[in-house]
């Protein structure tokens, strides 16, 4: 290749680069309102929010014109990646061309004229992908502060217990959810002998186990966002057992009691399929204690208490 041909090739490459840059920059839009969301390209999680007046580079649309593809600005956490913004949230900058529609030549401006704008904004990309109903499994662990504090202090020297368990949740797009779970907490203390209103330790290990089977219905606020508060309430069946190494079959305590619970928490969605939650629960199990032994001595009748737990949820 001679010098003239090399020069002509260099000029051609420069023209192609300038043309591509001009085509890329020909579409710019200005944001109409403060805190306008830009979604990740898969529509699952919000990438950032931008204030009114922000100018964005428009590089295309999602094929329907409802959402436009824009470059996430660097000053709002972007690193050159492409996101989605609702067409009704922006207006094209004067002198620029509308972005190309996939499969056609030139697309009309995605901005709806003021006189014909819909009364409500279009749904977000997440709402399009949100199922009407979804099942999720979860595991959980937490700390229970028992209502029968004196009884457990006398028997086990502690008025708290670590609980763990798991379950399944059925949730709906409108925010309603129902779930069932099976938990367990266990305390090993010492059998005592009560004489004349006083408890005397016997040095015999005494194991107390409680297994709550819980059913809860509740509501999740803003179920499509990355941070979701929720609350709920329901019923539970509490299985209480107490035994020592010398307990014969048919001896010891083996009882079932009905209880009530209310709960509330905040769920954090780290991805479409994984979430974590911090939850607080109050449980009341009336008349489950106090029929004899230490609980009767101190006048405590409730097996419930406050629990603070962490949940890990798998599924949509």
**Same domain, yes or no, for 207 and 101?**
no
**Same domain, yes or no, for 247 and 295?**
yes
Q: What is the mean pLDDT of the chain?
A: 80
Position 21 scores a pLDDT of 42
The range of the structural domain enclosing residue 94 comes to 23-128
Domain C-terminal end among 77, 105, 128: 128
**Same domain, yes or no, for 27 and 160?**
no
DSSP symbol at 295: H
Position 210 scores a pLDDT of 93
Domain total for the chain? 2
**Same domain, yes or no, for 155 and 119?**
no
Q: Which residues contact 54 (CB under 8 A, 6 or more apart)?
A: 30, 31, 36, 73, 76
In a domain, 141, yes or no: yes
Distance from C-alpha of 289 to C-alpha of 21, rounded to nearest angstrom: 77
Position 295 scores a pLDDT of 80
CB 91 within 8 A of CB 111: yes
The stretch 31-35 carries a mean pLDDT of 89
pLDDT digits over 175-223, tens only? 999 999 999 998 888 877 777 767 777 778 888 899 999 999 999 997 6
**pLDDT interval class at 44 (50, 70, 90):** low
* CA-wise closest residue to 189 among 210, 201, 207, 211: 207
Q: pLDDT at residue 238 above 60?
A: yes
DSSP symbol at 51: -
Please give the share of the chain, as a percent, with pLDDT higher than 90.
Answer: 33
**Same domain, yes or no, for 111 and 86?**
yes
pLDDT digits over 71-126, tens only? 888 888 888 888 888 888 888 886 555 555 544 444 444 444 444 444 455 555 44
pTM above 0.75, yes or no: no
């Amino acid at each position: 290749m001679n010098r003239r041909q090399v020069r002509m090739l260099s000029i051609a490459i420069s023209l192609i680069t300038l043309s591509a840059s001009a085509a890329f920059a020909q579409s710019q839009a200005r944001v109409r309102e403060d805190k306008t969301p830009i979604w990740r390209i898969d529509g699952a999680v919000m990438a950032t929010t931008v204030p009114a007046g922000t100018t964005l580079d428009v590089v295309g649309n999602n094929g329907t014109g409802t959402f436009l593809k824009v470059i996430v600005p660097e000053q709002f956490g972007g690193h050159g990646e492409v996101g989605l913004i609702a067409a009704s949230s922006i207006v094209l900058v004067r002198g620029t061309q509308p972005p190309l529609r996939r499969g056609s030549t030139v697309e009309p401006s995605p901005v709806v004229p003021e006189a014909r704008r819909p009364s409500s904004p279009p749904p977000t990309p997440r709402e399009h992908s949100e199922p009407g109903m979804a099942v999720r499994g979860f595991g959980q662990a937490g700390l229970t502060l028992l209502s029968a504090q004196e009884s457990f202090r006398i028997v086990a020297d502690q008025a708290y217990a670590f609980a763990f368990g798991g379950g399944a949740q059925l949730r709906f797009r409108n925010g309603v959810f129902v779930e069932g779970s099976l938990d367990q907490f266990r305390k090993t203390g010492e059998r005592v002998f009560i004489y004349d209103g006083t408890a005397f330790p016997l040095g015999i290990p005494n194991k107390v186990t409680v297994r709550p089977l819980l059913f809860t219905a509740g509501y999740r606020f803003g179920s499509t966002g990355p941070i979701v508060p929720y609350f709920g309430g329901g019923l539970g069946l509490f299985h209480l057992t107490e035994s020592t190494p010398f307990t014969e079959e048919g001896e010891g305590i083996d009882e079932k009691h009905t209880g009530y619970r209310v709960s509330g928490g905040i769920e954090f969605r780290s991805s479409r399929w994984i979430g974590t939650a911090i939850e607080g629960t109050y449980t009341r199990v009336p008349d489950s204690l106090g029929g004899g032994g230490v609980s009767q001595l101190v006048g405590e009748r409730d097996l419930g208490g406050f629990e603070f737990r962490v949940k890990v949820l798998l599924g949509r």
